[in-house]
Chains A and B, each alone.
Chain A
Amino acid sequence: MSGGHHHDHGGGHHGHEPALHGHHHEPGFIGKYLFSVDHKVIGVQYTVTALVFLLVGFSMMLIMRWQLARPGEAVPLVGSLLSQLGITHAQTKALTNEGYNMLGAMHGTIMVFLGVVPLAVGGFGNYVMPLQIGAKDMAFPKLNMMSYWVYLSGGIVMMASFWANGGAAQSGWTSYPPLANTALSGQTWWLVGMVLLITSSLLGSVNFIVTIMHLRAKGLSMWRLPFFVWAQFVTAFLLLLAFPPLEAAGVMQLMDRVAGTSFFMPEGLIVSDKPTAWTGGGSPLLWQHLFWFLAHPEVYVLILPAMGIVGEIIANNTRKPLWGYTTLVYSIIFLGFMSFIVWAHHMYMTGMGTALSTFFQATTMIISVPSVIILTCFIISLYGARIRYNTPMLFALAFLPMFAIGGLTGLPLGLAASDIHLHDTYYVIGHFHYVVAPGTIIALFAGIYYWFPKVTGRRMSEFLGKLHFWPTLIGMNMVFGPMFFVGIVGVQRRLWTQTDYQLGQMTQYWVVFSSVGAAVLGLGQLPFIWNFFSSIFAGRKAEQNAWEATTLEWAAAPSPPPHGNFLADPVVVCGPYEYSVPGSPKDYCPQCQTSEA
């Protein structure tokens, strides 16, 4: 990467330049790669850390899937190692009940808060968004750096909790009291970790909002923003508005655990045949309200950036404008608003009255409409296209039917009557995984293949990319597809084994099938890991505009972009997806005119 000297300082067409650009010296190794304030370095740090966490979360699930398919049998390879943490049994080396609950709770937490969100927002958002809006950096580069380090500390606290007395948290990623309040010390670590992670997201979200509002290149009006930037913008608002209640709730639960308060504890609890010390008077359901007030918007935090990525890649590889760009933008804004008033659809079984549940059923049906519109826009975008089937496009296309399955299966869960049968069964696990795994994760892979040449200046191998794509798509469907059928039969989730139950026995064949799928999925990641690392050093060199794209990160910034991003300030002259403009010599017209490749 080149140094930080060449960018000019006259530019700030929106008033303030980021503080970063005040100093001129070349940062040393530590300043450049470790405690960097450059959004690109931070983006890469986020990406790499989040990918590692995704692998960790996935590995936990492989262990659990072993247990589900082969209940009570020694965990292969790591069985002995894990017995030191109480995750596996000292003698049999099989997963213990506690171990299963630990891995389950940590899988959920890691995947959501340490994997997908940091990758989608901290990684892609940080790296790509400033480039796409023609900014030299984020508005508050130091805040940005702090956000990463707070995130990493949160991650370390979470992982360290495996060594806590009694092991890591075991109360699910939802941590419902009173169970979570009465749990061992791992839960306290979980709460501290969560407070750090939430703080990190809050720092990030403020930065994203200010950056998008104030640091756009000349000529880049809001209605010329790439769809990805819009998605990040709405996401940032969701994070900013949804996380504070959970942060408060987290602190309250922490107080219940360590300071003897009773926010979530009712009177007269008797645990393990002994009265508990809490005075009572609190409400366990209060936690659920606070938690889901965050956690429903959170699912849109998981999905919106993915939609943004898919939008970019579809426009680029259909070689035509995204169909219904304005509709798409309004849809995600509407989704954002609505996501704040559907939370209690997670709580139909808590004894809620019919008036309240009618309200939440109605809002839930309403929120499905923009999702249908978004999907429809993407699919219509394919009409009349000139589709290039490269690896990013394959992943982006696969996102569409996968997200459709995830979204549609939310409907029966959104109606309280059908939810009576389906609530807290494997159907739920199938539903949200189709949204976040074959959905979001697939879109994130698409994004990695798409922006890799920008970040490294080299391309990933197409052959290995396809070798990654097919087993991933097939493996994911093998893992998650059967869950709908297990769930519809009525088998509940979060079980160490379902084979004690009649309905569980009658669906165990699916469980085995699903575990085989997890192995396929795992093996399918090897080409990716190899491709990722080998391409950094030995990939084919990429041009500045490797995909012949219109948006600024490709049109105006070198690959990789230098400190300060652009050689000259880009000036935007048109909308984001001017592909195949009739009469134009090339099939794409970049958004800006300066610094053409």
Chain B
Amino acid sequence: MSLLAQTQPMYWLPPDYSTHGWQIDQLINWMHVFMAVLFVGWGAFFTQCLVKYRYRRNPTALYEPIKAKASKVVEAAVVVIEVVLLVAFAIPVLAEYKNDPPKPEDNPFEVHVVAQQFAWNIHYPGPDGKFGKRNPKLVSDANSNPLGLDRDGDPDAKDDIVGNNEMHLPVGRPIIVKLTSKDVIHSFSVPMLRVKQDTVPGMEIPVWFTVKEGTSSDAIRETMIRTVAVPAAGANPRDFVLWCTNNIAVEDIKGSDGTVIVGKGREPSAEHLEALQKAGIGEIRVAPRHPVEIHCTQLCGITHYKMRGFVILMPPDEFETWYAEQAAGGDEFIEE
């Protein structure tokens, strides 16, 4: 399968950059061990019976029911293990995830997300730390006011920062995300941070998490470099285009005469193909532009599949700089 060769296959849980995620992973892994043991146990007995009690091999079937102590043991074991998984793992993990909001002294950073078909609006309070009121009557994508902030009348809203699909976050600091939706139900999911929460119109639901210290999107990108084969001239460019989507070249890709075909940080696409083929380049190295993605996991309409956002993880100081720049650089930025 040519696809296998070109992508970097992933087989199990994706990497996790949150501080709480290991507990979820541990639960998932233990459950699969438990499931596998049960399945193999059943399966062994099952296959043994299938072979041993074939029609020809066994002249008479057993009428009296066997006393199967084993079944009682299996059932009791299942109950015990499930109780342990539930009481010792599932309930405490969930309680920690849900019932322990970061305390003010931990200096949490709060950000609001308003989902809409088919984008994530990210709302930061700006330097004053206060969120402006969102007034449904003022909402207008057409006037670049997707959140309905009253920039003139509401002092809290004046310095608010509004982003689109790109959520910049500092690592190592508790994050509180308050989620809601303008229209239908969406679901805010960041698999690589083990976070998922539906966004329900008419409700504001918080989630909180902390990103592991020392990570950043730039560092994660380095771990996700893949090679993509350049198809021969005339061959179907399908796979090349697919595997380059949302990826960027990790180095300048140069022709033999030294001209840059795809610059470092740019997304290779079909239009580069001819030049790449002419230069005899067989494969290129790319990596995700923003490796940590936001998925919408609730069917939300026609282009639900495109409702993709990014979490951009930054070291705290870098984040502060970025934040200050955004606040200074005008009241709003809309990327992409």
Q: Which A residues are within 8 Å of any B CB, using their own CB?
A: 70-71, 73, 97-98, 101, 170-172, 176-179, 182, 266-273, 275, 280, 283-285, 318-321, 323-324, 349-351, 353-354, 357-358, 361-362, 365, 368-369, 372-373, 375-377, 379-380, 382-389, 397, 400-401, 404-405, 408-409, 411-412, 415-418, 420-425, 485, 488-503, 505-509, 512-513, 579-582, 587
* CB-based contact A97/B305 at 8 Å: yes
Tell me the minimal C-beta distance from B264 to chain A in angstroms: 19
Bitwise interface map of B from 278 to 318 toward A, beta carbon under 8 Å scored 1, else 0: 00000000001001010111111111111010000000000
- Give the contact stretch, choosing among B2-10, B149-157, B167-175, B321-329: B2-10
| Bound-state Cα–Cα, A16 to B91, Å | 55
Residue among A408, A422, A496 with max Cβ neighbours from chain B (10 Å):
A408
* CB-based contact B245/A321 at 8 Å: no
- Residue B331 lies at the interface, judged by CB distance under 8 Å to chain A: no
* CB-based contact A505/B243 at 8 Å: yes
- Give the contact stretch, choosing among B59-67, B125-133, B251-259, B268-276: B59-67
- 20 pairs, CB–CB < 8 Å, chain A vs chain B: A176-B184, A269-B182, A270-B139, A271-B183, A284-B202, A349-B197, A351-B198, A373-B71, A387-B54, A404-B38, A404-B39, A411-B85, A412-B27, A489-B12, A492-B296, A494-B305, A505-B243, A506-B9, A512-B1, A512-B3
| Bound-state Cα–Cα, A101 to B94, Å | 33
Number of chain B residues close to chain A: CB under 8 A: 106
| Bound-state Cα–Cα, A505 to B201, Å | 31
| Bound-state Cα–Cα, A322 to B286, Å | 60
* CB-based contact A503/B191 at 8 Å: yes
Q: Which residues of A contact B306 (CB under 8 A)?
A: 500
Tell me the minimal C-beta distance from B288 to chain A in angstroms: 5
* CB-based contact B62/A500 at 8 Å: no
* CB-based contact B24/A417 at 8 Å: yes
Interface residues in B9-44 (C-beta closer than 8 Å to A): 9-14, 23-25, 27-28, 31-32, 34-35, 38-39, 42-43
* CB-based contact B8/A373 at 8 Å: no
- Residue B333 lies at the interface, judged by CB distance under 8 Å to chain A: no
* CB-based contact A323/B245 at 8 Å: no
* CB-based contact B14/A490 at 8 Å: yes
User: Which B residue's beta carbon lies closest to that of A268?
Assistant: B136
| Bound-state Cα–Cα, A387 to B53, Å | 6
- Residue B117 lies at the interface, judged by CB distance under 8 Å to chain A: yes
* CB-based contact A508/B7 at 8 Å: yes
**Given contacts A383-B66, A408-B39, A496-B305, are A267 and B202 in contact (CB under 8 A)?**
yes
Q: Which residues of B contact A495 (CB under 8 A)?
A: 304-305
- Residue B225 lies at the interface, judged by CB distance under 8 Å to chain A: no
| Bound-state Cα–Cα, A315 to B32, Å | 32
* CB-based contact A500/B308 at 8 Å: yes
* CB-based contact B200/A285 at 8 Å: yes
Partner of B304, one of A272, A388, A494: A494
- Residue B90 lies at the interface, judged by CB distance under 8 Å to chain A: yes
4 shortest A-B CB distances, which residue pairs?
A266-B202, A490-B191, A384-B62, A382-B49
* CB-based contact A71/B242 at 8 Å: yes
* CB-based contact B86/A362 at 8 Å: yes
**Given contacts A172-B299, A351-B198, A376-B75, are A409 and B35 in contact (CB under 8 A)?**
yes
Q: Which residues of B contact A379 (CB under 8 A)?
A: 42, 45-46, 49
Partner of A372, one of B13, B74, B91, B305: B74
Q: Which residues of A contact B246 (CB under 8 A)?
A: 500-502
| Bound-state Cα–Cα, A384 to B68, Å | 12
- Residue B97 lies at the interface, judged by CB distance under 8 Å to chain A: yes
- Residue B210 lies at the interface, judged by CB distance under 8 Å to chain A: no
* CB-based contact B194/A489 at 8 Å: no
